[in-house]
Chains A and B, each alone.
Chain A
Amino acid sequence: MTRRQAFASNWQGRTALIALAIYCVYAAMQLDISWARIAVGLGEGARFLGRMWPPNFERWDTLVEGLVESLQIAVLASALGIVISLPLSLLAARNLSPWWISGPARAFIALCRSLHYVIVAILFVKAVGFGALAGVAALTVASMGFIAKLFAEAIEEISMKQVEAVRATGAGRLAVLLYGVLPQVASRFVGFCIYQLDSNLRNSTLVGIVGAGGIGGTLFAAFKRFDYDFVAAILLSIIAMIFLAEVISARIRKALQ
């Protein structure tokens, strides 16, 4: 008597899993990741951590200067990004703009998103020179890409009935936007903006490493001088700042609901 099959056998799935496991082993060997290498790495790591402790806040003025610059970069880039992405997303929304406007606007947004912000920051450092300007420019591009894309999608989901009713009163194009479109998406827009400010704060600590201003530059210099206790102080300060920002933005978001 043949046994009845209760579950379909999944040969493709099993084969794929086995192949993946084999490839992982092969890749680890290829990269010389072995138990011996890991053991050496752990020893090095322990020594590194030992040199980081205790954190050294002696040069707190440099630290604060870098943090403040990062904060300024983040706020400026967010503000610029928000101001630019509002009209950009209205142009990109396919339910409000004809295809020959929304198409190019969407392409531009995609362009803003296509490169990682560190690469954009390097480009701006080369183009406009070292310093905060490059950082602001790079993070503005990143903010435009993020906010404009999400906001355009939010606009595409609005109820056109409400828009139609406002249009029927004889309202002009901008008045229709003000009364028919924006009220439907305003709270989501504010949500996107706060989220982007949050992540700009995080990102602004990194752009300094490529010379685009902020605490990242200080951090990179400390690494190069092997001032690991100062590195620890910087990292702790960044974590504190980001944590604080999280708490504040969570409060704001809660208040908006």
Chain B
Amino acid sequence: MSGGLSIRGLSKAYVPGKPVLRDINLDFDGQGVTAIIGPSGTGKSTLIRCINRLVEPTSGKVLLDGQDLVPLRGRALRLARRRIGMVFQEYNLVERLAVMENLLSGRLGYVPLWRAWLRRYPQEDIDRAFALLDAVGLPEHATRRADALSGGQRQRVGIARALMQRPALLLADEPTSSLDPRTAVEVMELLTRLAGEQDVPVIVNIHNVELAKRYCGRIIGMHQGSIVFDGPPEKLMPEHLTLIYGGEDWM
């Protein structure tokens, strides 16, 4: 098959015998935003990181447009990674580089090393970077150092960096968890709008169930390394939340 992402029989155990992910099977085809919700420590981050291989799966397949990413090494792995953008909880910008340099680092998988070193990026990349800066609402910040920005601004740069890759898939690992409630909504809005405009499917780990229901067309609930709910937000009922998070007192 081709088109989209398929996960088959994915398992991960950091310590042998104590799996964090148990036999995950998922299909993502086409566009749209998918939220993964679940309690802390249930393997949401591990699942996302297994897709771009920041974490090595113990077993299973991750198929992107029909190609299995799990056995890839070296150059082949880098070529696969550059098609997958990632947004991080703590932004993970290179603090001492300028905003523009952080954006252009999204092209590192494409441009030759000497160009990256001398900052001689193709004009096309620079134009795109400026366009994305405008799109995320930071048109005047190209030459500022990343550590001079606020949390919300940094995450906007993080989103723009991921989109610089022209990704076939966008992963977001708790992109709003370090932000205040209002900024969290703004960032979520921006992320889903830009991804929609560029037809990039998004998989987002998120703690905030309300945000997930508001912005995502599909919700996957995880509990103890397994999927316990998979469906559109309107089907997500209180009993599902009990299944995902356990107990009822918190609701």
By a CB distance below 8 angstroms, the chain B residues around A162 are 92-95
A173 to B149, CA, bound (A): 28
Mark contacts of B87-114 with chain A using CB atoms, 8 A cut-off: 1 yes-contact digit, 0 otherwise: 0101011111100010001111110010
Chain B residues, Cβ within 8 Å of A167: 54, 81
Q: Give the complex CA separation of A179 and B117 in angstroms.
A: 8
Known: A164-B54, A178-B116. A169 touches B94 (CB 8 A): no
With A175-B116, A179-B101, A179-B108 as given contacts, are A168 and B93 in contact (CB-CB < 8 Å)? no
Return the contact of A169 from the options B95, B97, B106, B113 (Cβ within 8 A): B106
- For residue B86, CB closer than 8 A to chain A, the reply is yes
Contact of B117 among A161, A178, A187 (CB under 8 A): A178
Q: B96, A183: Cβ atoms under 8 Å?
A: yes
Q: In the bound complex, do residue A184 and residue B161 qualify as a contact, i.e. CB atoms below 8 Å apart?
A: no
Which residues of chain B come closer than 8 Å to A178, judged between CB atoms? 113, 116-117
**Residue A119, interface by CB 8 Å:** no
Distance of A184 Cα from B102 Cα, bound (Å): 13
Given contacts A161-B92, A165-B86, A165-B92, contact A170 B78 (CB under 8 A): yes
A180 to B107, CA, bound (A): 13
Residue of A169, A179, A186, A187 touching B82 (CB-CB under 8 A):
A169
Query: CB distance B54 to A166 under 8 Å?
Result: no
User: A13 at the A/B interface (Cβ < 8 Å)?
Assistant: no
- Across the interface, do B88 and A165 meet the contact criterion of CB distance under 8 Å? yes
- Whether the pair A170, B96 counts as a contact (CB closer than 8 A) is no
* Interface assignment of B176: CB less than 8 Å from any CB of chain A: no
Q: Does A43 contact B (CB under 8 A)?
A: no
B79 contacts partner chain A, Cβ-Cβ < 8 Å: yes
Contact with A along B151-169 (1 / 0, CB 8 A): 0000000100100010000
A174 beta carbon closer than 8 Å to chain B: yes
Check if A161 sits within 8 Å of B88, measured CB to CB.
yes
In the complex, the answer to whether A170 meets B82 with C-beta atoms within 8 Å is yes
In the assembly, what is the distance between CA of A53 and CA of B80, in Å?
76
Chain A, interface residues (CB within 8 Å), range:
20 to 34
Q: Does B52 contact A (CB under 8 A)?
A: yes
CA distance A175 to B108 in the complex (A): 7
Contact B88 A175 (CB under 8 A): no
A179 & B90 in contact (Cβ 8 Å cutoff): no
Do B96 and A169 touch across chains, with their CB atoms under 8 A apart? no
Q: Which residue of A lies closest to B92 (CB)?
A: A165
Cα separation A178 to B104 with both chains bound (whole Å): 13
The answer to whether B108 touches A171 (Cβ under 8 A) is: yes
> By the criterion CB–CB under 8 Å, are A171 and B93 in contact?
no
A171-B94 CB under 8 A given contacts A178-B116, A178-B117: no
B110 to chain A: which residues have CB within 8 Å? 170
- Is B78 in contact with A186, judged by CB distance below 8 angstroms? no
CB atoms of A184 and B52 under 8 A apart: no
Nearest Cβ on chain A to B169's Cβ, whole angstroms:
12
Binary CB contact string for chain B from 67 to 85 against chain A (1 if under 8 A, 0 otherwise): 0000000010011111111
Q: Could you tell me which residues of chain A, from 5 to 61, have a CB within 8 Å of some CB in chain B?
A: none
The docked-state distance in angstroms from the alpha carbon of A159 to that of B117 is: 21
CB neighbours of B113 from chain A (8 A): 172, 174-175, 178
A162 → chain B closest CB, angstroms: 5
Chain A residues with CB below 8 A from B81, complex form: 167-170
Known A167-B54, A168-B54; contact A179-B97, beta-carbon cutoff 8 A? yes
B78 to chain A, nearest CB (A): 5
The reply to whether A165 and B94 form a contact with Cβ atoms under 8 Å apart is: yes
Docked-complex contact A166 and B117, CB < 8 angstroms = no
Tell me which residues across on chain A come within 8 A of B86, comparing CB atoms.
Answer: 165, 168-169
Contacts of B79 in A (CB 8 A): 170
Check B94 against A180 for contact (C-beta < 8 Å).
Answer: yes
Instruction: Other than A172-B113, A180-B94, give 17 A-B pairs with Cβ distance below 8 A.
Output: A159-B95, A162-B94, A165-B92, A166-B108, A169-B81, A169-B82, A170-B81, A170-B83, A170-B110, A171-B109, A172-B108, A174-B113, A178-B116, A183-B94, A184-B94, A186-B96, A187-B96
Q: Can you list 28 A-B pairs with a CB-CB distance of less than 8 A? A: A164-B88, A165-B86, A165-B88, A165-B93, A166-B105, A166-B108, A167-B54, A168-B84, A169-B86, A169-B108, A169-B109, A169-B161, A169-B165, A170-B79, A170-B80, A170-B82, A170-B84, A170-B108, A170-B110, A170-B165, A171-B109, A172-B78, A172-B113, A174-B113, A179-B101, A183-B94, A183-B95, A184-B94
Q: Which 4 pairs of residues, A with B, have the shortest CB-CB distance?
A: A170-B109, A170-B82, A171-B108, A165-B92
**Residues of B participating in the A interface, judged by any CB pair closer than 8 Å:** 52, 54, 75, 78-86, 88, 90, 92-97, 101, 105-110, 113, 116-117, 158, 161, 165
